Chain A
């Protein structure tokens, strides 16, 4: 961690859509801002991020985030 005060803007994708985030950003800050309806699961760059790790999973420029839930299916 070099400098937590740099409010650098990063560009990430959430569920395929482009989003700009201020830094420092983690999965926890993203979830706090977006407030997906529980239950949901989160993936960053194709890796599952489990709930206890949200706060310690930083988001970086270019990250691909997926936030998923359950829907009807066969």
Chain B
């Protein structure tokens, strides 16, 4: 299904799908592969971790991801300092260069404050961003929905600012649409194509549609699909929600009004009863 010829340009690359999907937390690699297929995404995120000599069945994530088809976006998830995030970014790039994957130029930067909230540490995030840009990375930056921080990240050279809708894995959707609106307004002022991706917190399809209706360029999610009771069905729902929200945003919604406006004509009624 082609919804719109306008594609998403981000970090030097162009994509048809505006849905970025994580590869964590699926019950099996087979299920993950089925969901990636079902949601029609072009970009998948991965994490960098210590290798184990033997995993359960000696299978690797990469046995189930077509690295010629998907752009792999490595993350720095689990890093609580700028220094660690930079290390992980460099390790991820080294691996993706071996795979000859365009994601080698990219990193999804996360510098977290604490394990309980997984909220971003703004100072560590900005610090790591500056180092990674000097190191030649295209940096997609996970951040809170704070408009001031979003501006600072864009000014520092982020390829995309990715405000959280709500905490990672929380399934609470877009908790503060006004902040997302302000982030979008500020980052896109005189730069309408600057990509803003809502990252984290998506629980179901309507959350994705809301983010897109607000004007986001895309949505990044993982748990919303991976932990759904029927994950492939939710993957399809998310693909439809991306398209629905994107089209609705471009179509332009009607203003909200307090009172009703009749859709059927007042003239020609057979009854004169008015209240």
Q: Which residues of A contact B (CB under 8 A)?
A: 15-16, 34, 36-41, 43, 46, 48, 50-51, 66-74
Closest to B90 in A: A48
Give every chain A residue within 8 A of B200 (Cβ-Cβ): 74
Contacts between the two chains (Cβ within 8 Å), count: 97
Check B51 against A72 for contact (C-beta < 8 Å). Answer: no
Decide if B188 is an interface residue (CB 8 Å cutoff).
no
Give every chain A residue within 8 A of B38 (Cβ-Cβ): none
Give every chain A residue within 8 A of B99 (Cβ-Cβ): 39
User: SS class of chain B's interface: helix, strand, loop or mixed?
Assistant: mixed
22 contacts between A and B (CB under 8 A): A15-B50, A15-B51, A36-B53, A37-B58, A39-B98, A40-B51, A41-B48, A41-B92, A46-B87, A48-B87, A48-B91, A69-B48, A69-B60, A69-B95, A70-B72, A70-B95, A71-B49, A73-B24, A73-B47, A74-B23, A74-B77, A74-B221
Give every chain B residue within 8 A of A69 (Cβ-Cβ): 48-49, 51, 60, 95
Check B91 against A74 for contact (C-beta < 8 Å). Answer: no
Decide if B17 is an interface residue (CB 8 Å cutoff).
no
- For A69, A72, A74, the residue with the greatest tally of chain B CB atoms inside 10 Å of its CB is A74
Per-position contact with A for B226-240: 1 when CB-CB < 8 Å, else 0?
000000000000000
Give every chain A residue within 8 A of B71 (Cβ-Cβ): none
Check B23 against A41 for contact (C-beta < 8 Å). Answer: no
Decide if B245 is an interface residue (CB 8 Å cutoff).
no
- CB < 8 Å neighbour of B24 from A37, A40, A74: A74
